[in-house]
């Protein structure tokens, strides 16, 4: 299946369009080339210096492209969202949980989800919403605000001390596995459904930093900083049972992914990843499995 991809010049979009038979839509263009689209355009952090960028990027730009998809006869609109929309929900975040986002980025992302559902239902399009965990790895496009682990690795390589929030845990998923899960859900997932994309594991940032420091043999110290009393998203992990039921499982462990980020970076782009014989064999097995699942429908 071929997808038209909005936001193909971002970190995830760049990786996805190189890994799959996907058509990148130029950032100035509105009309998709296929009847199945993947939407990745978004702000990436909760900045307040130019607050209108959140509404412009996450809502206005989205509505213009929804109009274009309606006019082009798009069948399914796959919207890539974020776990941040859950806000202050419990540690294990399920797709059925009530969302209580705080901050301009999560609030506008959740509003965008609601717009997609309402707009598509009204105009006879089907939709899927994919809520990503903490994605790391991939090409370095100078977006360290999105990829905190890459930023910390760069600090450790320079022997700079880093601060780590006490008790902070995240569901880290490598960009390669993220793209695999996106393609699987957009090909095999039920329409008009929400899917979490992650590993289902809650890992402390302190542990991730320690793994990286050992691989780099850095002289950096990391300082454990106590969180603010109103920190709303200190601990998190995603319930990923829905994508696991589709046949997905992560292929790159956090330890292997962080070691690669610190050293060889052979996983940073699909071209690098597929030069490794073992990785290429795994990729071919995965493609065969997804092809088999498609043939059953």
Contact (CB, 8 A) for 162 and 209? yes
Note the pLDDT of residue 289.
Answer: 65
Whether residue 44 is predicted with pLDDT greater than 60 in this model: the reply is yes
Note the pLDDT of residue 145.
Answer: 47
pLDDT digits (tens, 9 = 90+) for 203-258: 999 999 999 999 999 999 888 888 776 665 678 999 999 999 999 999 999 999 99
Contact (CB, 8 A) for 23 and 38? no
Contact (CB, 8 A) for 170 and 134? yes
The domains of the chain are located at 3-295
| Rg, the chain, Cα only | 19
pLDDT digits (tens, 9 = 90+) for 100-158: 998 899 999 999 999 999 999 999 999 999 999 999 998 776 554 457 888 889 999 99
> What is the distance between the alpha carbons of residues 107 and 59, in angstroms, rounded to a whole number?
11
Note the pLDDT of residue 295.
Answer: 60
Note the pLDDT of residue 226.
Answer: 83
Statement: the pTM of the whole predicted model exceeds 0.85: yes
Has domain 3-295 been given CATH number 3.30.70.3270? no
Q: Rounded mean pLDDT of 281-294? A: 67
- Helical H runs in 189-245? 205-216, 241-245
Whether residue 268 is predicted with pLDDT greater than 50 in this model: the reply is yes
Q: How confident is the model at residue 189 (pLDDT cuts 50, 70, 90)?
A: very high
Note the pLDDT of residue 274.
Answer: 67
Q: Rounded mean pLDDT of 96-101? A: 93
Note the pLDDT of residue 227.
Answer: 76
């Amino acid at each position: 299946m071929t997808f038209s991809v909005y936001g193909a010049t971002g970190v995830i979009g760049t990786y996805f369009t190189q890994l799959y038979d996907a058509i990148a839509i130029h950032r100035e263009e509105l009309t998709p080339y296929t009847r199945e689209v993947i939407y990745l355009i978004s702000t990436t952090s909760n900045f307040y210096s130019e607050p209108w960028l959140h509404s412009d990027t996450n809502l206005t730009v989205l509505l213009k492209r929804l109009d274009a998809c309606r006019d082009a006869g798009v069948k399914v609109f796959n919207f890539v969202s974020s776990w941040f929309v859950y806000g202050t929900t419990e540690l294990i975040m399920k797709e059925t949980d009530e969302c209580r986002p705080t901050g301009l980025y999560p609030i506008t992302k959740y509003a965008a989800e609601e717009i997609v559902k309402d707009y598509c239902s009204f105009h006879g399009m089907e939709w899927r919403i994919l809520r990503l965990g903490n994605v790391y790895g991939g090409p370095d496009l100078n977006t360290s605000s999105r990829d905190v682990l890459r930023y910390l690795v760069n600090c450790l390589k320079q022997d700079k001390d880093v601060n780590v929030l006490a008790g902070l845990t995240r569901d880290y998923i490598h960009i390669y596995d993220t793209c695999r899960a996106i393609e699987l859900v957009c090909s095999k997932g039920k329409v008009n459904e929400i899917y979490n994309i992650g590993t289902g594991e809650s890992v402390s940032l302190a542990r991730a930093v320690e793994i990286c420091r050992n691989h780099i043999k850095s002289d950096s110290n990391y300082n454990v900083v106590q969180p603010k009393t109103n920190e709303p998203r200190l601990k998190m992990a995603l319930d990923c049972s829905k994508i696991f039921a589709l046949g997905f499982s992560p292929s790159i462990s956090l330890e292997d992914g962080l070691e690669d980020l610190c050293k060889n970076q052979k996983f940073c782009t699909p071209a690098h990843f597929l030069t490794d014989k073992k990785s290429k064999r795994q990729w071919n097995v995965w493609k065969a499995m997804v092809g088999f699942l498609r043939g059953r429908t």
